[in-house]
Amino acid sequence: MGVSTSGPEKGISVVTVDFPPVNALPVQGWYDLADAVRAAGRDREIRCVVLTAAGRGFNAGVDIKELQRDAGTHRALIGANRGCYEAFAAVYECEVPVVAAVHGFCLGGGIGLVGNADAIVASDDATFGLPELDRGALGAATHLARLVPQHLMRTLYYTSRTATAAELQAHGSVWKVVPREELPTAALELAREIARKDGHLLRLAKAAINGIDPVDVRRSYRFEQGFTFEAGLSGTAGRVRDTFGKEA
């Protein structure tokens, strides 16, 4: 359980997240993920990182139960905010391209991870969304906006609905959709194609593409996080969060 790194073949590093039962990450988990991705990117032998997950789904976001246990001090809320910021930034700033291999649900913080990745390969059962308004939170609209057009992003955000991998592929944000059992192979195939390029040139290309990005994703997401914290301080987040898991 936790975050692990493996090297299935030369030039490729696979970072795997495993926090049963649904990959809802605790505060430390976000920091561990950030450390693993940054370490892989710093390795001069690595030319592509594959970000994947074990279990039922890719990512269910922040561990809501951890926030509920620490409602009085806001330490967990602050930690989750900072941990998510570090993990998302680590994916975006990774020195080499990052391929996200997504299966099952990709929710909340999962959108922050894939929205900062360089490419997405998904299984045909993958769904993407931000249930933040149902969980007493805000954030990651910055990253959902990198996956779907503006008005669809807003509608998905306000309704907490999800989009399928096929729908995202139609919008051009998912590279390939495959049966679930073929996902690891498909992700490695893309990573292998990327890793055939010159390593130094790939690193320059990643820095150049980030440099021309029209939106500063780090600053944009940090702005959103201010409203998340405001919702927590006002008591609104706690009130909504207390209904989590109690729906009829």
Q: How many domains does the chain have?
A: 1
- Residue at 189 is within a domain: no
> Can you say whether residue 55 is alpha, beta or left, with left for phi > 0 and alpha for psi between -120 and 50 degrees?
left
- Residue at 171 is within a domain: yes
Distances (CA, A) of 200 to 48, 148, 196, 244: 12, 31, 12, 47
- Residue at 208 is within a domain: yes
- CATH, residue 76: 3.90.226.10
d(CA 126, CA 179): 10
For 59-88, write each residue's pLDDT tens digit.
999 988 887 777 666 788 888 889 999 999
pTM confidence score: 0.94
For 177-189, write each residue's pLDDT tens digit.
999 999 999 999 9
- Residue at 247 is within a domain: no
- Residue at 55 is within a domain: yes
- Residue at 16 is within a domain: yes
For 117-126, write each residue's pLDDT tens digit.
999 999 999 9
Q: What is the dihedral of CA 78, 150, 132, 161, to 10 degrees?
A: -160
Which amino acid belongs to residue 41? Answer: G
- Residue 155: which domain range? 2-182+203-241
Which amino acid belongs to residue 205? Answer: A
| Tokens of residue 16, six digits | 């795997």
Residues 6+ positions from 2 with CB-CB distance below 8 Å? 18, 19, 29, 32
- Residue at 168 is within a domain: yes
**Residue 135: pLDDT band by 50, 70, 90 thresholds?**
confident
Residue 248 confidence (pLDDT):
41
- Residue at 224 is within a domain: yes
